[in-house]
């Protein structure tokens, strides 16, 4: 049981607070626009290596751009006269109750942008009652972060090579009061990040972000000397343990036996992987491409979300991570099947700008929960039970031509029947030659995309010619 947040709902009331303060000549201390926050932080960080680390992504950073573009393609369709005077953003995910469906994503080595790092982030999250996910590669230990502030917390696990060490980390989190384990599975190998490579710098190799390693008794037992006597050897053992390319689905049975806490797998993009997680008694999945930091050219997380939610959403908690920048983004993710979202870079930018107050400004007033409340109001629904796909227009692909090409390929190489959404098939086209019948397969679902104002309103079963 945690104490009530000091700065809780109604989050959307902070807009009124800004205007009321403005009557006395006071303007916001921190940027209101998340884009301005990003620009300001990128300009002001003194260490260019830290700038590269927190702003960079894999390869040409195409996946990072795709994450943002996926949200822009979806458009909210407001309903009217829905009596939204009282809007309830509260939700519960895997027994963790939160005042809005927003969770602070795990980000390692936060002390590279502010000395207090995760401690400041934890205090800000607790102040608004939002859950925080602590990274394995945090600058402060599991226990220190738990002691610093109340509020719900989850622990993110990078599974080390030593099972005993993995068990120790999970046990420490459970003992310290963390409420769930988030196993990251999309980082078994180091992503190719040109910005980091150009600066030839990784904070962990400088001993930053290793508090959970250096404080762990199992890790310490792997060393010939104490950490303070031979820190370089300790960093060397971190390198040995950090990434585990041998990790497989079979290992989940061990993790499931090690803890009674809910377990979520972070890094799921394919629905069959989500089904595999369900078969192994995992409690939730986080649809994520690691914020575009692992593989260049990956599918945008939001584009992958609907299929994963359709596959396991009735049985598992489904969360969305990667590319979330605003309350509108949160509503779009919820409409497409997410139970909640993880917010990453924006709160780190707030931390870099002004420590705890900067994080609090992002969480409390400026960008995410407050704007969720406003968007819910504008959409004319009273709460998240009312948010559904019929509030969103937008196809998962950039153009209708691309979508048709994908269906054509599926009909040419795939099964006899393909599930799709209704579309116009012009006589004489390549697609028409491959289609025998198109039959309704469910109730109408509004759809649209960039090249046609409205299309595809009925799920269909397409039979190959």
DSSP assignment string, 120-152: HHHHHHHHHT--EEEPTT-SS-HHHHHHH--S-
Q: Taking residues 187-216, what's their average pLDDT?
A: 95
Up-side HSE of residue 109: CA atoms within 13 Å toward CB? 16
pLDDT tier, 435 (very low <50, low <70, confident <90, very high otherwise): low
pLDDT tier, 20 (very low <50, low <70, confident <90, very high otherwise): confident
Would you say 25 and 334 are in contact if contact means Cβ atoms under 8 Å apart? Answer: no
pLDDT tier, 89 (very low <50, low <70, confident <90, very high otherwise): confident
Residues 6+ apart with CB under 8 A from 448: 75, 393, 394, 395, 454, 455, 456
pLDDT tier, 420 (very low <50, low <70, confident <90, very high otherwise): very low
pLDDT exceeds 50 at position 458: no
Token pair for 146: 């738990």
Q: Is the peptide bond prior to 10 cis by the omega test (within 30 degrees of 0)? A: yes
Q: In what helix (H) or strand (E) does residue 332 lie, and over which residues does it extend?
A: helix 327-335
CA distances from 203 to 15, 64, 196 (A): 38, 21, 10
pLDDT exceeds 50 at position 451: no
pLDDT exceeds 90 at position 223: yes
Q: Taking residues 162-183, what's their average pLDDT?
A: 98
> Which of 44-48, 171-175, 261-265, 374-378 is the least confident region?
374-378
pLDDT exceeds 80 at position 465: no
Beta pairing, strands 91-93 & 284-287:
unpaired
Beta pairing, strands 263-268 & 75-76:
unpaired
CA distance 460 to 456: 9
pLDDT exceeds 90 at position 296: yes
Q: Is 267 helix (H, G, I), strand (E, B) or coil?
A: strand
CA distances from 309 to 190, 316, 317, 332 (A): 28, 9, 9, 14
Q: Is 270 a catalytic residue?
A: no
pLDDT score, position 174: 98
Beta pairing, strands 96-98 & 91-93:
antiparallel
pLDDT tier, 453 (very low <50, low <70, confident <90, very high otherwise): very low
Q: Taking residues 130-140, what's their average pLDDT?
A: 97
pLDDT score, position 97: 96
pLDDT tier, 83 (very low <50, low <70, confident <90, very high otherwise): confident
pLDDT tier, 312 (very low <50, low <70, confident <90, very high otherwise): very high
pLDDT exceeds 60 at position 456: no
Would you say 288 and 303 are in contact if contact means Cβ atoms under 8 Å apart? Answer: no
Q: In this predicted model, what pLDDT tens digit does every residue of 36-45 receive, in sequence order?
A: 999 999 999 9
List the domain boundaries for the chain.
Answer: 11-390, 394-464
Choose among 303, 299, 305, 329: nearest CA to 319: 305
How confident is the prediction for the chain on average, in pLDDT?
Answer: 84
Q: Taking residues 410-429, what's their average pLDDT?
A: 48
pLDDT score, position 450: 34
Which DSSP state fits 364? Answer: I
Q: Taking residues 34-55, what's their average pLDDT?
A: 93
Would you say 217 and 142 are in contact if contact means Cβ atoms under 8 Å apart? Answer: no
Q: In the beta sheet, which residues pair with residue 91?
A: 98
pLDDT tier, 12 (very low <50, low <70, confident <90, very high otherwise): low
Rounded to two decimals, what is the model's pTM? Answer: 0.82
CA distance 424 to 428: 12
* 403/290: higher pLDDT: 290
pLDDT exceeds 50 at position 367: no
pLDDT score, position 86: 78
Percentage of the chain exceeding pLDDT 90 = 65
CA distances from 430 to 258, 282, 405 (A): 55, 43, 9
Which DSSP state fits 314? Answer: T
* 315/393: higher pLDDT: 315
Q: In what helix (H) or strand (E) does residue 438 lie, and over which residues does it extend?
A: strand 435-440
Q: In the beta sheet, which residues pair with residue 464?
A: 435
Annotated catalytic residue, options 30, 114, 290, 367: 290
Would you say 133 and 284 are in contact if contact means Cβ atoms under 8 Å apart? Answer: no
Burial class (CB in 10 A: 0-12, 13-18, 19+), 161: middle
CATH number of 11-390: 3.20.20.70
pLDDT score, position 64: 96
Residues 6+ apart with CB under 8 A from 46: none
Q: Taking residues 342-348, what's their average pLDDT?
A: 96
């Amino acid at each position: 049981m945690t104490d009530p947040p000091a700065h809780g709902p109604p989050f959307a009331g902070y807009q009124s607070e800004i205007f009321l303060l403005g009557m006395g000549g006071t303007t916001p201390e921190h940027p209101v626009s998340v884009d301005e926050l990003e620009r300001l932080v990128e300009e002001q960080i003194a260490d260019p290596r830290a700038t590269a680390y927190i702003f960079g992504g894999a390869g040409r950073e195409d996946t990072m751009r795709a994450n943002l573009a996926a949200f822009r393609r979806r458009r909210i369709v407001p309903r009217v006269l829905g009596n939204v005077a009282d809007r309830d953003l509260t939700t519960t995910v895997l027994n963790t109750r939160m005042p809005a469906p927003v969770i602070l994503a795990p980000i390692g080595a936060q002390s590279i942008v502010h000395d207090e790092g995760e401690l400041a982030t934890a205090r800000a999250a607790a102040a608004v009652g939002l859950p925080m996910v602590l990274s394995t590669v945090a600058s402060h230990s599991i226990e220190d972060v738990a002691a610093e502030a109340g509020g719900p917390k989850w622990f993110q696990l990078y599974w080390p090579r030593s099972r005993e060490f993995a068990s120790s980390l999970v046990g420490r989190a459970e003992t310290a009061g963390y409420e769930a384990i988030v196993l990251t599975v999309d980082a078994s190998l180091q992503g190719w990040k040109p910005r980091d490579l150009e600066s030839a710098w990784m904070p962990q190799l400088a001993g930053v972000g290793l508090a959970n390693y250096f404080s762990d008794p199992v890790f310490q037992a792997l060393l010939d000397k104490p950490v303070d006597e031979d820190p370089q050897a300790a960093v060397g053992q971190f390198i040995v343990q950090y990434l585990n390319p041998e990790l497989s689905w079979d290992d989940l049975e061990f993790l499931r036996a090690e803890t009674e806490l809910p377990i979520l797998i972070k890094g799921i993009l394919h629905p069959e992987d989500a089904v595999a997680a369900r078969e192994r008694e995992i409690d939730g999945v986080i649809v994520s491409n690691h914020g575009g930091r692992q593989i260049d050219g990956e599918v945008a997380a939001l584009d992958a979300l609907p299929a994963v939610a359709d596959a396991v959403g009735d049985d598992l908690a489904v969360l969305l991570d990667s590319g979330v920048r605003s309350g509108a983004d949160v509503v779009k993710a919820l409409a497409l099947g997410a139970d909640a979202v993880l917010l990453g870079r924006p709160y780190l930018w707030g931390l870099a700008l002004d420590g705890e107050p900067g994080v609090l400004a992002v969480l409390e007033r400026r960008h995410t929960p407050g704007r969720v409340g406003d968007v819910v109001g504008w959409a004319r629904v009273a709460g998240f039970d009312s948010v559904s796909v019929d509030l969103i227009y937008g196809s998962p692909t950039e153009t209708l031509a691309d979508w048709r090409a994908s269906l054509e390929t599926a009909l040419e190489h795939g099964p006899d029947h393909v599930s799709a959404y209704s579309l116009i098939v012009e006589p004489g086209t390549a697609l028409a030659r491959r289609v025998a019948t198109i039959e309704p397969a469910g109730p109408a679902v509004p759809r649209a995309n960039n090249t046609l104002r409205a299309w595809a309103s009925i799920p269909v079963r397409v039979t190959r010619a």
